[in-house]
């Protein structure tokens, strides 16, 4: 066999290439790079997929070696944590059936059946888990014939389903063995249960097998694992703080929104929440104006034919994510995205190269049939409104368009005091169109990121089917990442819909389509902001910006004059209940009002106010005009914190 056929090319994270033997494992490559790296290898990332270090490499690929210092190491450790749970559970409850147990961003979970557990049982299971960690069992990977594995799980339909689906056509499948316990698993795992420094169980919930409500309901047990007890304690503290910041809890306290049972996954915004939403929409309108977008509106109800040429029908309808039905022998649907409608608006016009870019924006409401078990307040919904936008541009305008869009989104995040992490998502297995246009589109996005000097991670194979994407992840006050803004470059939909413009040569040319969302969905962004600010919104966003606290009923008239005459342009309420001033102040703090104006006889006589902010700063004898002028400036500049008394 020739050398060309017996070797493959491995691309390392620094861009360098290695020729290695066909079938060499991840660990083999690590040893070839250096003996120390080989000894430290825990796992590998092959073309974006986390794999066992014993995985053979059979084709050209990108490879990253995972060691204990890698970001991915915690995922590997937590995957082993799920196996420790599985072993502990089946020691105590041999009748338990294990379904699936992956790592997650916060730890791991395992879906189980055949045993009736409640929260009180978790302590005993956790104690058994700690004993397994203490025993320091080595984990061994074993390859077994598919048929033998299927017979092993005669009494476990979930593992058999995995073998029929994920392992269909495979001659052998992998098991991981620790002590006298084993589990069907692709890995990867750490070398030993003793590598886990700290492990805990967190909570339980119900889950449907494969996330399908038509399937069995299972018990999902959540846990987490860390390298040290200190890391676990810090996690528990962050988790408790996250519970306090839960947007559903704060939403009830501030009367912002509800998601009633008669509208599952669809949000009702109450007056307080609507004040926030309106402010966000008006803010984004100013950004769209700056970027040169024309606002449009397109209907939520369309014939399903609209989405077939673009490929969205196949991606959403066949996956059960589109709300669709047939009427009078015609199939209709609620739109799952806005891009096909915006492409139609473009088609209705006639454009030359001088007219481009042509840009359309819309606060467009879309619907996707998320599984009920996945719904979560504002963060995971079925009905959502995107601050969507599509620009139709020439090829020579790509870098300028993407660059100015990224700059605008970065300004928005800065307005909220949010740090940004950039992710470049590249061509995946479901991509449509040629490799050449995908490479051109990817380089266009990469060029804009690099021209702005932005650091970014590459998420290989994670792009949508029609084009590569830059995901802008906001990092909130607790250090959590949320994908909010997105920018995608699309050569495919203009081709599929035959979109054109007239070039300098008087011939038809194909525009390029930029899909972008500055906030993403209004619902999700509001959920993130509620938790980020813990309900303590900047003054410009706060549903109630000022609360006037009369010292006695005799001062209510002065309070009304302040509200209606001096502060009429702001959102102001008067606390007129017959409470003590101390109780009124406490209630305003609890309600997260940025400013309180305390007015008694002295203030009324002098025509002044005492100003108190939510940080408990207070100043007396404040001129009302000075306060009003500052409040106006603070609001107009959209400052992150109330700062009159700073």
* Residues with catalytic roles: 339, 368, 386, 388, 390, 469, 515
Q: Provide the 10 A C-beta neighbour count for residue 237.
A: 10
Nearby residues of 582 by Cβ (< 8 Å), 6 or more positions away: none
The three-point CA angle 458-459-461 to 5° equals 125
Q: Provide the 10 A C-beta neighbour count for residue 475.
A: 15
Query: What's the number of CA atoms in the CB half-sphere (13 Å) around residue 534?
Result: 14
C-alpha distances out from residue 92 to 96, 126, 390, 612, Å = 9, 11, 56, 58
Interhelix angle 73-92/122-135, rounded to 10 degrees, is: 120
The three-point CA angle 421-425-429 to 5° equals 155
- Under 8 Å between Cβ of 122 and 201: yes
Quote the CA–CA distance of 595 and 619 in Å, as a whole number. Answer: 12
Q: Which of 116, 119, 77 is nearest to 97 (CA)?
A: 116
Q: Are strands 61-66 and 7-11 parallel, antiparallel or unpaired?
A: parallel
Quote the CA–CA distance of 387 and 295 in Å, as a whole number. Answer: 10
Take residue 76 and report the two structure tokens written for it: 């590997």
Which DSSP helix (H) or strand (E) runs through 150? helix 146-152
Nearby residues of 468 by Cβ (< 8 Å), 6 or more positions away: 424, 425, 426, 427, 438, 441, 442, 445, 488, 489
State the alpha helices, DSSP H only, in 327-457. 339-347, 398-415, 435-451
- Under 8 Å between Cβ of 579 and 532: no
The three-point CA angle 164-169-173 to 5° equals 75
Which DSSP helix (H) or strand (E) runs through 362? strand 358-367
Ramachandran assignment for 322, one of left (phi > 0), alpha (psi -120 to 50 degrees), beta (any other): beta
Interhelix angle 435-451/398-415, rounded to 10 degrees, is: 50
Q: Find tokens 């040629």 and name the residue.
A: 434
Nearby residues of 81 by Cβ (< 8 Å), 6 or more positions away: 103, 107, 108, 196, 199, 223, 224, 225
DSSP letters for 179-209: TTEEEE------SBGGG--EEEEEEEEEEEG
- Please confirm whether the linkage preceding 188 is cis (ω < 30° from 0): yes
Reduced to 3 states, what is the DSSP secondary structure of residue 426?
coil
Take residue 171 and report the two structure tokens written for it: 């001659």
Q: Which of 482, 480, 462 is nearest to 472 (CA)?
A: 482
Take residue 457 and report the two structure tokens written for it: 């991670």
Q: Provide the 10 A C-beta neighbour count for residue 218.
A: 22
State the alpha helices, DSSP H only, in 427-483. 435-451
């Amino acid at each position: 066999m020739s050398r060309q056929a017996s070797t493959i090319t491995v691309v390392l994270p620094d861009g360098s290439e290695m020729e290695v033997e066909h079938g060499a494992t991840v660990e083999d490559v690590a040893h070839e790079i250096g003996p120390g790296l080989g000894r430290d290898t825990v796992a590998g990332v092959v073309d974006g997929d986390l794999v066992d270090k014993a995985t053979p490499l059979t084709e050209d690929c990108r490879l990253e070696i995972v060691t204990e210092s890698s970001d991915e190491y915690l995922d590997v450790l937590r995957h082993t944590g799920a196996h420790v749970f599985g072993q502990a559970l089946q020691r105590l409850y041999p009748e338990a059936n294990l379904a699936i147990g992956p790592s997650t961003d916060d730890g791991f979970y395992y879906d189980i059946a055949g045993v009736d557990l409640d929260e009180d049982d978790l302590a005993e299971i956790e104690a058994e888990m700690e004993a397994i960690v203490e025993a320091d069992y080595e984990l061994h990977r074993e390859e077994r014939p598919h048929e033998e594995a299927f017979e092993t799980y005669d009494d476990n339909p979930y593992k058999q389903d995995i073998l029929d689906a994920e392992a269909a056509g495979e001659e052998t499948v992998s098991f991981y063995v620790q002590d006298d316990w084993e589990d069907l698993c692709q890995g990867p795992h750490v070398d030993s249960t003793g590598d886990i420094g700290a492990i805990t169980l967190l909570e339980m919930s119900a889950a449907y097998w494969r996330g399908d409500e038509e399937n069995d309901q299972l018990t999902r047990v959540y846990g987490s694992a860390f390298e040290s007890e200190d890391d676990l304690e810090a996690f528990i503290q962050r988790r408790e703080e996250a519970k306090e910041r839960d947007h559903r809890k704060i939403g009830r306290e501030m009367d912002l929104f509800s998601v009633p049972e008669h509208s599952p996954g669809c949000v009702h915004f109450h007056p307080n929440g609507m004040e926030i939403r309106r402010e966000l929409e008006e803010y984004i309108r100013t950004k769209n104006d700056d970027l040169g977008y024309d606002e449009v509106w397109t209907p939520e109800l369309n014939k399903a034919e609209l989405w077939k040429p673009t490929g969205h029908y196949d991606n959403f309808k066949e996956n059960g994510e589109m709300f669709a039905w047939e009427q009078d022998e015609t199939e209709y649907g609620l739109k799952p995205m806005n891009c096909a409608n915006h492409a139609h608006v473009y088609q209705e016009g006639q454009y030359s190269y001088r007219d481009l870019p042509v840009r359309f924006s819309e606060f467009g409401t879309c619907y996707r049939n998320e599984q009920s078990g996945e719904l979560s307040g504002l963060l995971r919904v079925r009905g959502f409104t995107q601050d969507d936008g599509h620009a139709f541009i020439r090829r020579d305008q790509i870098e300028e368009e993407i660059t100015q869009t990224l700059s605008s989104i970065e300004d928005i995040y800065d307005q909220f005091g949010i740090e940004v992490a950039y992710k470049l998502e590249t061509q995946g297995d479901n991509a449509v169109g040629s490799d050449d246009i995908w490479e051109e589109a990817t380089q266009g996005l990469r060029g804009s990121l690099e021209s702005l000097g932005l650091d970014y991670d590459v998420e290989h194979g994670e792009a949508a089917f029609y084009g590569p994407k830059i995901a802008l992840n906001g990092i909130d006050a607790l250090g959590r990442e949320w994908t909010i803004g997105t920018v995608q470059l699309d050569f495919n939909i203009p081709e599929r819909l035959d979109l054109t413009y007239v070039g300098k040569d008087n011939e038809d040319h194909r525009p390029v389509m930029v899909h972008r969302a500055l906030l993403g969905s209004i619902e999700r962004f509001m959920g993130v902001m509620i938790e980020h600010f813990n309900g303590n919104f900047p003054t410009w966003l706060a549903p109630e910006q000022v609360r006037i606290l009369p010292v006695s009923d005799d001062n209510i008239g002065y309070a009304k004059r302040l509200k209606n005459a001096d502060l009429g342009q702001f959102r102001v309420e008067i606390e007129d209940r017959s409470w003590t001033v101390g109780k009124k102040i406490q209630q305003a703090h609890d309600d997260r009002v940025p400013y309180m104006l305390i007015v008694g006889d002295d203030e009324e006589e002098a025509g002044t106010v005492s100003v108190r902010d939510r940080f408990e700063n207070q100043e007396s004898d404040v001129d009302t005009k000075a306060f009003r002028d500052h409040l106006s400036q603070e609001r107009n500049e959209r400052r992150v914190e109330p700062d009159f008394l700073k």
